[in-house]
Amino acid sequence: METKYYLTKTPAGCKGFLYEVRDEKGVLISKRTSKRDYVACTADGVYYFGRRDLIGKGDHGRRLRQAQAQADYTEADYLKERREFKRYSAKGDEEETERYYPSATAEMKNRVKVEREWGAKRLKSLSEIAYLTQ
């Protein structure tokens, strides 16, 4: 069963408003003080939205697409990155390349598994939206 999250807004004096994200059991997940008006946010409190139509757009949309790409990561993606890595390493020092691109030499199956797990986790956190309740 999917957890539901709620965004609450209370006046915070001269600071504006205190926004709190709580789950259905009332446990505080995150909070933020702002003078702006928000109608929704991600459950982890990373992204706040002034209008509902902004959900999935801008930086939030870009992060969603990146997370989806990671969740769909395949061995073909790994091999493509590996070819690019080899092309880069042919131009410069192998040791220098290893320092900047250490994951490119990781074992393929492990890398694919790690990328997919990370992508699924991040996609979940970006997709859980708490809407303002009054």
Across the chain, mean pLDDT equals 85
Give residue-wise pLDDT tens across range 91-130. Answer: 555 565 555 555 555 567 788 888 899 999 999 999 999 9
Cα torsion 30, 32, 38, 43 to 10°: value is: -10
Share of the chain above pLDDT 90, in %: 59
Number of structural domains, the chain? 1
Provide the domain limits for residue 103. Answer: 5-133
CA distance 65 to 41: 18
